Structure 1
Amino acid sequence: MMLTIQQRRERLNRQINERIRTLIAAYKTLGGSFTGDLSVSPIHLKEIKSREASGQEMAPLELSGNSERARRIRDAVEAALSDIILLGTEEHVRLAVRAASELVQGRNVHTHDLVVSLRNFIRKALDIERIPSDLELPRQGPSRPSASGGRDKGEGGKDGGAKGGGAGGMEGANMGGGSMGAGGPAGNEPDTSSSHPI
């Protein structure tokens, strides 16, 4: 009987840790930038080429020189939103669904509100003290792909296939564990010795 209880507890801890790892990876993907354009463009490459051919005006991020980077950001953000819808709290899911719906409707999306919600949840789950209320944190947006990604197109194509399969697809979210990796605001693994009220 005791062994069965211990096994259940260990399984629950593993599930909790995997959930937190996934949400940490999503947080890094959605909130890894403080500067530049902090929105996510929903424009696909074929649509960019179509607009260029027809002479339609496009925002700076949608120009051909940045189209590959915009695509990689969008793909990683979509994967992160999918993970949040799967494993997030009700508040996370509502914010993620709203962001995903705006992308589907062709609107630029800001992820800051979802990033704040994830940050508060993760810090509480890991028993980290609250961020001081007198600190004014800058707005956060999606992580940008590494500049070295375009060094070799053939190599970049392989990397793109490997990185597009989860929220950990961005360079800034390299973590292990399922489709996402571990790591956190404090750089520590989630505590497996006790379960948190998640």
Structure 2
Amino acid sequence: MRSAIDFSSWPSALATLLGLLLATLLMVGIRLLFMQTMQKRRERENRQINERLKTLIAAYKTLGGSFTGSLHVRPTHLRELRQAGPEEAAASSERQRRMRDAVEAALSDVILLGTPEQVALAAAAARDLAAGRSVETAALVVSLRQFIREALDLEPIAPGTEIPPQGPLRPGSGQGGGRRAGAGEEGGARRGAGGGGAAGAGGAGMGGMAVGAGLHRAASGDPDDPAAPT
């Protein structure tokens, strides 16, 4: 230690101070690099967790968005309905087909980002859909709910709380919105036609006034009128 720190002369003291300064800068640089690496890793993990939670929450809303009605997913595809004939195709509504498509997308997201238990449940449901069997999503919804609450540090649901089985979210029909949009366009067209008619009537009235003024000047022989005969 005495040989490393020597203050017997100015050159040795300066060399000792420079050595201490370099060692301090090196340790500070290593610490900053380590902290920056850990911060980037933490930010990447947080971003991955947020994206995973966002996707699983959306899947939970799709798979468990209803408590009443039919909680099964009918796997009939639009191509199969066309092959079956118009009568059977009319029996299956567009709403059920949209529900099936939404459930398939949600199951795909769960298989990609879910826990092993959730992946197994989603894969079983996907196999049932592919085989043409009706699917219940209540067990998968319960697993998603528990995982999401734990990931968000929420208190667990009380054991005595009875939650009815949840089924897929029933999408709303788009026919009412289409009718409202068509009525709005028709009303706008009518208002536009009425405005154009009023503007044409106003123009015709102004033209009639100008013609009347010209006839009056011609009949009175106004000397200031350049068109009057001299």
Verify same fold: TM over 0.5: yes
- Describe the superposition over 1:92-144 as per-residue Cα deviations: whole angstroms up to 9, x where unpaired: 00000000000000001010000000001110111111111111111100001
Corresponding residue number in structure 2 for 1:7: 40
In the alignment, which of 159, 167, 173 is matched to residue 133 of structure 1?
159
1:20 and 2:53 aligned: yes
- Describe the superposition over 1:143-165 as per-residue Cα deviations: whole angstroms up to 9, x where unpaired: 01123466339x9xxxxxxxxxx
1:152 and 2:185 aligned: no
In the alignment, which of 60, 67, 84 is matched to residue 34 of structure 1?
67
SS of equivalent to 2:167: coil
Distance 1:150-1:98 versus aligned 2 partners, 3 A rule: farther
Distance 1:140-1:149 versus aligned 2 partners, 3 A rule: farther
Corresponding residue number in structure 1 for 2:12: none
Q: Where in structure 2 are the equivalents of 1:47-196 lying within 5 Å?
A: 47-52=80-85, 64=90, 66-148=92-174, 151-152=177-178
- Structure 1 runs, 4 residues or longer, greater than 6 Å off: none
- Give the unaligned 5+ runs of structure 1: 156-198
CA distance in 2, matches of 1:72, 1:146: 9
CA distance in 1, matches of 2:73, 2:65: 13
Q: Whose helix fraction is larger, Structure 1's or Structure 2's?
A: 2
The sequence identity of aligned pairs, in percent, is: 60
SS of equivalent to 2:68: coil
1:34, 1:141 within 8 Å by CA — same for their partners in 2? yes
Higher normalized contact order (CA 8 Å, seq sep 6+, divided by chain length): 1
- What letter corresponds to residue 78 of structure 1 in structure 2? E
- Give the unaligned 5+ runs of structure 2: 1-32, 182-230
CA distance in 2, matches of 1:149, 1:89: 38
2:95, 2:172 within 8 Å by CA — same for their partners in 1? no
CA distance in 2, matches of 1:120, 1:105: 29
Give the Å deviation of 1:65. Answer: 5.6
- RMSD of aligned residue pairs (Cα, Å): 2.0
Could you state the TM-score of these two structures normalised by the residue count of structure 1? 0.69
Give the Å deviation of 1:71. Answer: 1.0
Instruction: Report how many aligned residue pairs link the two structures.
Output: 147
Q: Which has the larger radius of gyration?
A: 2
